[in-house]
Amino acid sequence: MDHGWTTGNRLRLLENGEEYFPRLIAALNAARSSVLLETFILAEDEVGRQLAEALAAAARRGVQVALTVDGFGTAELSADYMASLAQAGVAVRMFSPGHRLLGRRANLFRRLHRKLVAIDASIAFVGGINLSVDHLVQASPIAKQDYAVEVQGPAAQVIHTFMLEAIGAGTKRPQAMRWRRPAARESTVPDAGLPGAALLVTRDNQAHRNDIERHYLMAIRAARREIVIANAYFLPGYRLLQAICAAAQRGVDVQLILQGRPDMLWVKRTVDMLYAHLRESGVRIFEYCERPNHSKVAVVDDDWATVGSSNLDPLSLSLNLEANLVIRDVGFVATLKDNLRNLMSRSCTEVSAVEGGPGAWWHGIATPVIFHFLRKFPAWAGWLPAHTPRLVSPEMPAAADAPSTDMAVHNVQRDGP
Which residue of the set 144, 294, 303, 329 is catalytic? 294
Q: Is 296 a catalytic residue?
A: yes
* Helix or strand run (H / E) with residue 116: strand 116-119
Q: Are 155 and 202 in contact (CB under 8 A)?
A: no
Which residue of the set 2, 70, 120, 313 is catalytic? 120
Q: Is 337 a catalytic residue?
A: no
Which residue of the set 2, 3, 70, 115 is catalytic? 115
Q: Is 113 a catalytic residue?
A: yes
Which residue of the set 45, 253, 301, 302 is catalytic? 301
Which residue of the set 146, 160, 296, 303 is catalytic? 296
The vertex-156 CA angle with 292 and 223, nearest 5°, equals 60
Q: How far is CA 44 from CA 66, 125, 143, 258, in A?
A: 18, 21, 16, 29
Cβ-Cβ contacts under 8 Å for 360 (sequence gap 6 or more): none
CA nearest to 231, candidates 345, 137, 332, 144: 144
Q: Is 372 a catalytic residue?
A: no
- Could you give the CA distance from residue 357 to residue 297 in angstroms, rounded to a whole number? 33
CA atoms within 13 A on the CB side of 308: 30
Which residue of the set 2, 3, 70, 113 is catalytic? 113
Name the CA dihedral angle for 327, 332, 336, 339, rounded to a multiple of 10 degrees: -170
Residues with a catalytic annotation lie at: 113, 115, 120, 294, 296, 301
